[in-house]
Structure 1
Amino acid sequence: MKKFFLLLLILSFTLTKTNAQAKVNTYKYVIVPLQYKFLKGQNAYRLNTLTKQLFLKSGYEVYYDNQLLPDDVFEDRCLAMYVDVNEVDKGFRLTNLEIELKDCRGKLILKSDLGTSGINMHEERYQTALRNAYETVNDRLFYQENSKLYSSESETVIADVQNEIEETVNTNVVATSNKKMKTTKESKIDDKLESSTKLTEDNTDKEETPMIVFYAKKIENGFQLVNQERKTEMVLLNTALDNVFLVKGGDAIVFKKEGDWILSKNGKDGVQVVSLNIKF
């Protein structure tokens, strides 16, 4: 009888752990910040880029927090997990990092163990510590839609209980090896982020104000330009000329010159010309 209750206790603990794992993997999207609080500057030591790459390999759809999100996430931010990385017990030439995954309300979903590195080079040390932290939760991170997830431990314990109390327990084991990974080219945002990153500690305080990005959504007779918050900034109407648009409701045109998009507007002080960053 004591063995029976012991098996039930182990089964309860294991299924609780498995349910937590399943909860993590009900999320399809992961949102990565452009800057971690413990570092100065965006993408310092390229940790944010590395974070995105690691979660992409686990099968998630990953976006930076300033990107235009898919419609379903934009309407319901609780469909995504939000990444944070913290530095713990900072020491001399010793970096300890931990990864946290939170829901849209800031509730902790999963925390990694500490990833530690003592490599002399700053960038390599931080990246190695991040990779080591990620490895402690890597086996629990994959997205699987509409599935029940059971670990091998659960299957073994359930089998023991079956033998003890002679009941039939149906288990559904989902294989996670050889999971087909989604391969995509790094987005232009990644490239721009990489090229603009300054890795020396002397200049991490210097940040340039980025140009606002407008995203062009195809509509009848033209395009609708929206910002990163999905607010419509202007509507471009087609003309008979390629890469030349009229601005609806304004005395202005938008045209392409030497690869750049230009807004030319008539005002009280004459013609005003402004460069635009438009993503079609």
Structure 2
Amino acid sequence: MKKTLLLFALLISGLGFAQSLNDYQYIIVPAKFEWLKEENKFNLNALTKMMFEKQGFQVFYPTDKLPDELALDRCKSLYANVENESNLLTTALTITINTCDGKNVFTSLKGKSKEKTYQKAYYEALREASQSVKQINYKYSGKSTVAVKQSAPVAAGQQAATPVTVNNDNALFAQPIANGYQLVDSTPMIVLKIYKTSQQDSYTAVSENKNGVVFKRGNDWIFEYYQNDKLVSEKLNIKF
């Protein structure tokens, strides 16, 4: 009876998640979970990747070669994780899905196991947690909820947009993160996260209220983004 009620609650709550999940084609799975010391320890990352592939997502590790549209805009992807909530008696894992800005859009029911060996316990707990993902009935809608405007490549006979130029003299200190850097001011507060693309000195950029690109022009670092339908070209003082 208790299990039936939990599944019913999951189905009801899943209706709210499904629409936003269906608007994303891609999902990125970490190559290493923070609570494990090695990449793909116990094959858990590969199993998590496979689980999402079976549901119909196009799944990548952060270090994989990404589709061009995703390499240029990481916010076109969801980000999955497996969180360890185990205690001395029980192994417990939860699957979470977030957007690029860290907003949680899905949390599975907790998968549990009483197995004594780590590998068997993790497998059982992950398998149980993955049942929640199956209940979503994911199907890509063919559209994206991400309304990020970026300057498109200039075609023949087409003029480039004229940006509003801004100088930002505040020092931003680059701290390495997975596949890029977080830019921190002197507060310290994270101002911007930038992610590597296939082009040297070119990054996709994400902040709380701005998405765009950061690239090097001569000796200057430029952050370009749209604000109120106007292209802004902001010169940044980045300290690598």
TM-score band, normalised by shorter chain: 0.5 to 0.7
Alignment match, 2:199? 231
Output the CA distance in 2 between the equivalents of 1:108 and 1:232.
Answer: 31
How do 1:46-85 residues align onto structure 2 when only pairs under 5 Å count? Answer: 46-85=43-82
Match of 1:105 among 83, 86, 101: 101
CA contact (8 A) 1:85 1:100 kept: yes
Q: How does 1:173-184 map to 2 (within 5 A)?
A: none
> In structure 2, what is the Cα distance between the partners aligned to 1:115 and 1:136?
9
Secondary structure in structure 2 of the residue aligned to 1:30: strand
- The 1:141/1:67 distance shift into structure 2, 3 A limit, reads farther
Tell me, yes or no, if structure 1 residue 140 matches structure 2 residue 136. yes
Deviation at 1:229, TM superposition (A): 3.8
SS for the counterpart of 1:231 is coil
Q: CA deviation at 1:19?
A: 4.2
SS in 2 for 1:132: helix
Are the counterparts in 1 of residues 94 and 108 from structure 2 also a CA contact under 8 Å?
yes
For 1:25, the equivalent position in structure 2 comes to: 22
Distance 1:141-1:73 versus aligned 2 partners, 3 A rule = farther
Of 121, 124, 127 in structure 2, the residue corresponding to residue 125 of structure 1 is 121
Structure 2 unaligned regions, length at least 5: 1-10, 144-195, 202-240
1:48-80 deviation per Cα after TM superposition (whole angstroms, max 9, x unaligned)? 000000000000100001111111111111111
Q: Is the 8 A contact 1:25 1:141 kept in 2?
A: no
Residues 68, 229 of structure 1: 8 Å contact kept: no
Counterpart of 2:63 in 1: which secondary structure?
coil
State the partner residue of 1:190. none
Matched-pair contact (CA < 8 Å) for 1:27–1:143: no
| Change in CA separation of 1:19 and 1:115 when aligned onto 2, cut-off 3 Å | closer
User: Which whole-Å CA distance do the structure 1 matches of 2:19 and 2:124 have between them?
Assistant: 28
Percent identical: 30
Larger radius of gyration: 1
SS of residue matched to 1:136: helix
Distance 1:230 1:87, change over 3 A: same
Matches of residues 148-159 of structure 1 in structure 2 within 5 Å?
none
Distance 1:17 1:38, change over 3 A: closer
Deviation at 1:26, TM superposition (A): 1.0
Higher strand share: 2
Give the distance between the partners of 1:116 and 1:16, measured in 2 at CA: 21
**Residue among 33, 37, 55 paired with 1:36:** 33
Question: What is the aligned partner in structure 2 of residue 91 from structure 1?
Answer: 88
Distance 2:12 2:129 in 1: 24
User: Could you tell me how far 1:128 is from its partner in structure 2?
Assistant: 1.4
- Extract unaligned runs of 5+ from structure 1: 1-13, 148-227, 234-280
Distance 1:98 1:15, change over 3 A: closer
Q: What is residue 244 of structure 1 aligned with on the other side?
A: none
RMSD: 2.3
CA 1:45 to 1:17, structure 2 compared with 1: closer, same or farther past 3 Å? Answer: closer
Kindly state the Cα deviation for residue 90 of structure 1 after the two structures are TM-superposed.
2.0
What's the CA shift for 1:20? 2.8
3-state secondary structure, aligned to 2:78: strand
Amino acid at match of 1:82: Y
